Amino acid sequence: MKLLTEIANKYGTDKGTSVYPSHGFSEIYHDYFNVDKEKVTKVLEIGIDKGNSLRMWRDYFPNAVIYGIDVQQHQFFREDRIVTDFANQSIKADIDKIIDKYGSDFDLIIDDGGHDPIFQQITLGYLFPHVKTGGFYVVEDLHTSFMEDWLKPINLSVNDFTAYNVLKQFIDEKKLTTNYLKTEEIDYINNNYEYVKIYDVLNDKKHITSILKKK
């Protein structure tokens, strides 16, 4: 078992393998982040819940401050090297306030927020510029791009510009195309990404995450 998974299981986050349902994303992330984890100083995660994944990142990155944002204020807390605050991931003014307050240049940003297949794209457009050179941006829970309960209320089908389809096309065509980002946001991502990866952990369209690396 990889170190990040051991820590994930200690705190009971579904990024690990010990809770049900678990996604097992920690096994993948460890391979990307372990080599330089002592150099990581700033991590931002969208979505707090009980704070277990924030604690996982804190323990894994020994020199980092971990920032968590959410719209549910009852989830806010403060612990050693963990800071939580309010922000709606789909509202640029909220994101701008977080950047103004805590600064930019994050080594790692993880979107484990609302899972909305449109908001996942909008947030990528807002926040990818705030990933430092050589850093990573993660979009988790792309399974919602295949779920009618998520797609019907926002008038999407599985063949439309869902987050999964947009990132898959990005990989295939080496170019980001979507209706939900501004031209300048799309151009920035196209000009500043190194690679995009998608992982369907159990090959069942239910445990899907993605990793974008910045040049």
CA distances from residue 100 to 45, 47, 73, 189 in whole angstroms, order as listed: 16, 19, 20, 21
Distance CA 7, CA 210 (A): 21
Percent of the chain with pLDDT over 90: 91
For each of the domains in the chain, give its residue range(s) and CATH number, in order of start: 3-214 (3.40.50.150)
Q: DSSP secondary structure string, 57-81? A: HHHHSTT-EEEEEES-GGG---BTT
Q: Is the pLDDT of residue 21 over 90?
A: no
Q: What is the pTM of this model?
A: 0.97
Strand, coil or helix: 152: helix
At residue 185 the predicted structure's pLDDT band, cuts being 50, 70 and 90, is very high
pLDDT at 161: 94
H or E element, residue 42 = strand 42-46
Give the pLDDT mean for 103-126. 97
pLDDT at 169: 97
Condensed to tens digits (0 to 9), the pLDDT of residues 166-176 reads 999 999 999 99
Give the pLDDT mean for 203-214. 94
Token pair for residue 72?
Answer: 């549910």
Query: C-alpha angle 129/132/138, rounded to 5°?
Result: 75
Q: Is the pLDDT of residue 133 over 90?
A: yes
Give the pLDDT mean for 205-210. 94
At residue 203 the predicted structure's pLDDT band, cuts being 50, 70 and 90, is confident
Query: For residue 50, which phi and psi values (nearest 5 degrees)?
Result: -90, 0
Give the pLDDT mean for 151-155. 89
Q: Is the pLDDT of residue 187 over 90?
A: yes
H or E element, residue 158 = none
Give the pLDDT mean for 102-127. 97
